[in-house]
Structure 1
Amino acid sequence: MARNEPLDFENEDDPLLPAPRPAKRSKVIGMDDLLLDYFQSGKKDKLKVKAAKSKHGPKGGYDSGEEDDRATQQEITVCKIFEEVQQKGKVMDARDDVPPWGQQFFRCQNPPSNLSNGGVENCHLLQSFSAIEDIGFDLEMHQGEGFLEGMLLDGWLLNLVRICGFVEDSVASWTLTNLLHSPNEKLQVSAADFWDGILSLDEAGEPLVNLGYFPSYSVLKRAMLSYGYLFDTSGTKASISGSTAAGGPDDSLPHNIIAWLRVVSACCKIRKVHSIFSPSEAEELLAIAISLFLDRRLEGLLLVLGDCLNSLILYFNTSEWETSCVMVAESIAQRVTLDLNCLRVVDCITGTNKRSKILRSQVALQLLKISFGLKVANVEKILKLVTSINVKEKECDFFRLYVYLVLMDNLLFSSDAFRDKTGMVDAWRNYLRNCSTQIGCTDWRFYAPKARNKASYLLQGSILKKSSGDGKSCVR
C-alpha cells in the first residue's frame, strides 16, 4: 500500500450516513425526443425488413413501388364502395325526387282592350250636382270621371246611391271596370267595397238598391284572360306543371285578383234575389277558384279564396248541385297532375257543410278514375285496384300508393255516401292494417316510411269514425 493512498476502511460508505438517492428522471418528454425515438425505431425496423427481404425475398431486392401500388389499389376499392353506398342513399332519399305542390295558372298578362267609361260624364248623378247653383260645381272644369273617383275613394258614392236607392248602369259599369282593371290599389279596394255594398241584402232579404247592371260571366272571364289565366283544360297540365317561381314582369301575379274574387263572392250571395250566373258558368267559376289554391303566390289570399269557394258552392240550387258537382270534379281532375298537387286540391275544399264534403269526395273519385284509366267512375272497382297493390313487391311504387291512400280515404269518408257499405269500409280498413304492418320499419325504399305512417294514421281515424258512428246509432 502506498504511503499517500487512503486506507481500506476509508473507501467504504459510512453506515451512519444515508445512501445518496438516484437522480430523478424527468416526467416531461419533449416532442423532439419522441420524434428521435420514432425515427430511430423506424430505421431499425427498415433494417430488419431489408435483412429479411435480402434473405427470403426475390433476387432483385426490396421494391418500394409494390407497396405504393398496393396502397393505391386499396384507395380505389374504398372509393368505389363509397360511391355505391352514396348512390343507394340517393335512391332511398325521396326529398329531392318528389317536387313540392304548386302549379301556375297565370302566364303572360295582356292589357285590357276597348275599356271605356261608358259615358259616365253624362250620368244623371253628375248632372244633378252641376244643376245645384249653391255648390258651384263645374262639370267641365272638374272632369266628371275624376270627381267620381274622389267620391268612390272617400266612400261618398256608396252613401249617395244608398240614399237615392238606385245605381245608374253607366256608374255601375265604370266602377266594375276600375275594380277589374285599375292599377290603383286604393281604387280597386274602394270599388270592391262599393260592389259589396250595392249587392248586399237587408234584414228582410231584399236588395238595398235597385240595380240594372250586374257583373256578367263574360266580363269576368274577359278579365281573367287579360290576367293571363289558362282556360284550356286540354293543355293546362303540360303548360303549368313545373317550377312555381315567377319569371319576368309579364309572369307576375295579377294585381286585381283580390277584387275579382270579392266581386264573384258578392254576386253569389244574392242568388235568392237574382241569378247572375247560369249553372254552367258557376261551374267554370268554381273550377277556377279551386285551381287558384295551387298557385303558391296566392297563399296569402287563403281567406279571400275560401270565402269565394264557399260562396260558389252554395250558389247552386239543390236540383242543380248533383250534376254540377260531378262536372266541376271532372274539370278539376283534368287540370291537376296526379302528384302532391291533387292532394292539395282535395285538402283545400275545407268546408264543413254537406255540399263541400260531397265535392271533396267526388274530386277524389274523379282523380282515381283518371289515374286508373277508367271510363266510368266505379267505386268498387277502384277500391279493388287500390287494395290489390302488394307492398311486399320489390317494384312497388310507394309514392303512388301514398297518393292513392289519401284519395281513397277522402272518397270513402268525406261524405256519408259510403258509411253504410260495411263491406267496402271493412275491406279498406283491412288493407290499411296490412300496409301499416307489412311495410317494415327498416324499409327505406322510396316513400315507404311515409306510406306506412299514413296508412297507420288513416287506420286510427277510420276506427274513431266507426266508434263515433256506432255511438250515434245507439243514441238513435
Structure 2
Amino acid sequence: MVTDEPLDFEEEEDPLLPAPYPAKRKKVISLDDLLLDYFETGKDKLKVKAAKSEHGPRGYGSDDEDNRVRENEITFCKLFEDCEEEAKVLDARDDVPPWGQRFFGCQKAPSNLSDMGVENCQLLQSFCVSEHLGFDLEIQQGEGFLEGMLMDGWLLKLVHIGGSVEDSIASWTLNKLLYSSNKKLQVSATDFWDCILSLDEDDKLLVNLEYFPSYSVLKCAILSYGYLSETPGTKASTSESAAADSSDVGPPHNIIAWLRLVSACCKIRKVRSIFSPSEAEEFLVIVISLFLDRGLEGLLLILGDCLNSLVLYFNANEWESSCVMVAESIAQRVTMDLNCLRLVDCITGTNKRIKFLRSQLALQLLKINFGLKVGNVEKMLKLVTSISVKERGCDFFRLYVYLVLMDTLLFSSDAFRDKTMIVDTWRNYLRNCSTQIPCRSWTFYAPKVRNKASYLLQGAIFKKSGDDGNVSAR
C-alpha cells in the first residue's frame, strides 16, 4: 500500500450530505424561436387589428375610435343616472333629517318681579345693629351683602343654625335662582334650595319653611326663558333652522337651576304636595320634550333625574291616568320620524313606571299615526305586519319607525309577553323582514330595516316575563 494514496473510508461519500444537483445545460434560443413563440401566443393581435383599422378598405382613423369611446361613456353615464333616479323613486327618504327640535324662542325679562323687601328681613337687621362685626353695614348695601353671604355659603349655615327661613329670604333666593345672570350666584341659590328642601331620616324638612316655589312661579319662569308652549299639534322647528336665528334664541342659562328646583320640589311630596296632578303632568311633558333640544345634549343626566322625580311624584292611583295624558300630549307634538325614536330611547329606567311610560308613548304615537280613536294593540299589530317588504313602493323608513315603536309597546312592560299569539305574530314578521329584504336593495333604509329586525328578533326570543304594570288600551 502506497502511503500517499487515500484510505478506503476517505473515498466514500458522506451519507448525511445531500446529493449534488445535476448541472443544467445552457440552451441557446435563436431568433426564429422567439418569433414563433410570439405569433403562437397571439401577442401580435393588437398590432394586426391596428394595421387593419389603418389600412382597411373603409379607412377608419383614430378619430372614429375616440368618438366611439365618447359615445360609450355618454351611454354609461345616462344609464347610471337613470338607475340613481329610480333608486330615489323607490325610497324618497334618502335625505331623512337628523333628530332635533327647538323648544326655546326669544328670551324675555320677567315682568312680574316685585320688591322682595329683603332689606327689611330680620337676618339683615340683626347684622346692622350688631356691634361685634367690626364694620358699618347700611341698609342700602343689604342685598349685595346677602349675595356675598349666599355665594360664600354663610347664609345656608345661618339658616341651619336658626332652624328656619324667612319668607323674604326664601323669595329673594328663589328669584336669584331663576333669573340671575351671575353663574356663581345662580349655582349658590340652587344649592341653597336643594338643602332646605331636603328631608331628614324621619321624612321631615331640615328647617322650618313657610314659602315654597309654586306652579305659577315656575311656569312663569320657563315661559320667560322662551319656551314654545303652542297648542298641541304644533311642531317645533328643527335644529337646522334654529342655528340660523339670532343669538338670543336657544336654551336659557337658568334652565339647569329650573330643572334642579323642580326635581327638589317633587322629592318632598310626603311633606307637601307643591303641584297638583295636572300641573305635574304639564311639567313632565315639558321635561320630556327637552330631550329633543340639541342645545341640551349635555344635560341628559339632569333631565333624567328631573324626569324620574316627576314620574315618582304621582300617587299610585294617579299614575296610570296621568301617564296616558302625558303620552297623548307628547305624541301630538312630536313628528313620526327620528324625533319620536329619540324620545323612546331617552326615557330610560328599570322601574315599572318608566317602562309603562315608554310603552304608553309608543302606543299613542302609533295610535295617532294610524288614525285610530281607540288604541287597540291587536289592530295596530295587524296594520304593521300587513306591510310587505317585497312591494316596490314600500316605505322602509316609516317601517323602521314602526318596528321600533311596536317592539317598545310589546316588550317595555310585561302586559303582552304572555300572549303567545301576539308575540308569535310579531316574531314571524321580524323574521320575514330580516330574511326577505335582499342585500342588494336600492332603497336607503332597507338594510337598516333588515338589521333592526334581526336585532329585535333576537331580543324578542330571549325576553322573559316579569311583573311590570299593565298597558291600558285607549
Look up the match of 2:283.
285
C-alpha distance 381-419 of structure 1, shift in aligned 2 (>3 A): same
SS in 1 for 2:105: coil
Correspondence 1:91-170 to 2 at 5 A: 97-136=95-134, 138-140=136-138, 143-170=141-168
For the 8 Å contact 1:103–1:243, the answer to whether it is kept is no
SS in 1 for 2:435: helix
Look up the match of 2:430.
432
Alignment partner of 2:390 out of 389, 392, 397: 392
C-alpha distance 195-45 of structure 1, shift in aligned 2 (>3 A): closer
Letter in 1 for 2:327: A
SS in 1 for 2:235: helix
| Greater Cα shift, 129-138 or 312-321 | 129-138
Look up the match of 1:408.
406
Alignment partner of 1:237 out of 218, 230, 235: 235
Quote the offset at 1:91 in angstroms.
6.4
For the 8 Å contact 1:241–1:337, the answer to whether it is kept is no
**Aligned residues between the structures:** 425
Quote the offset at 1:74 in angstroms.
3.5
Letter in 2 for 1:156: W
Distance, in Å, in 2 between the alignment partners of 1:365 and 1:268 is: 27
C-alpha distance 218-79 of structure 1, shift in aligned 2 (>3 A): same
TM normalised by structure 1 equals 0.82
Correspondence 1:143-222 to 2 at 5 A: 143-222=141-220
For the 8 Å contact 1:129–1:137, the answer to whether it is kept is no
Distance, in Å, in 2 between the alignment partners of 1:469 and 1:171 is: 49
C-alpha distance 110-62 of structure 1, shift in aligned 2 (>3 A): same
Quote the offset at 1:51 in angstroms.
6.0
Q: Pairwise CA RMSD of aligned residues?
A: 2.8
The structure showing larger relative contact order (alpha-carbon pairs under 8 Å, at least 6 residues apart) is 2
Cα deviation, 1:246-275, whole Å, max 9, x if unaligned, reads 632111320000000000000000000000
Look up the match of 1:451.
449
Look up the match of 1:78.
76
Correspondence 1:356-367 to 2 at 5 A: 356-367=354-365
For the 8 Å contact 1:269–1:311, the answer to whether it is kept is yes
C-alpha distance 94-165 of structure 1, shift in aligned 2 (>3 A): farther
Quote the offset at 1:440 in angstroms.
2.4
SS in 2 for 1:383: helix
Quote the offset at 1:114 in angstroms.
3.5
Quote the offset at 1:295 in angstroms.
0.9
Look up the match of 1:300.
298
Letter in 1 for 2:292: L
Quote the offset at 1:290 in angstroms.
0.6
SS in 1 for 2:260: helix
For the 8 Å contact 1:117–1:174, the answer to whether it is kept is no
For the 8 Å contact 1:91–1:446, the answer to whether it is kept is no
Unaligned regions of 5+ residues in structure 2, if any? 1-30, 32-45, 468-474
Distance, in Å, in 2 between the alignment partners of 1:50 and 1:441 is: 48
Look up the match of 1:14.
none
SS in 2 for 1:310: helix
Quote the offset at 1:68 in angstroms.
6.2
For the 8 Å contact 1:433–1:459, the answer to whether it is kept is yes
For the 8 Å contact 2:102–2:236, the answer to whether it is kept is no
Quote the offset at 1:96 in angstroms.
5.1
Letter in 2 for 1:230: L
Compare CA radii of gyration and give the structure with the larger one: 1
The answer to whether structure 1 residue 322 and structure 2 residue 320 are counterparts is yes
Report the identity percentage.
Answer: 75
Quote the offset at 1:142 in angstroms.
6.0
Look up the match of 2:3.
none
Cα deviation, 1:106-145, whole Å, max 9, x if unaligned, reads 1111122242341111111111111222225544266110
Look up the match of 1:247.
245
Distance, in Å, in 1 between the alignment partners of 2:381 and 2:84 is: 38
SS in 1 for 2:439: coil
Alignment partner of 1:345 out of 331, 343, 346: 343
SS in 2 for 1:377: coil
For the 8 Å contact 1:123–1:171, the answer to whether it is kept is yes
C-alpha distance 238-259 of structure 1, shift in aligned 2 (>3 A): closer
Distance, in Å, in 2 between the alignment partners of 1:275 and 1:238 is: 32
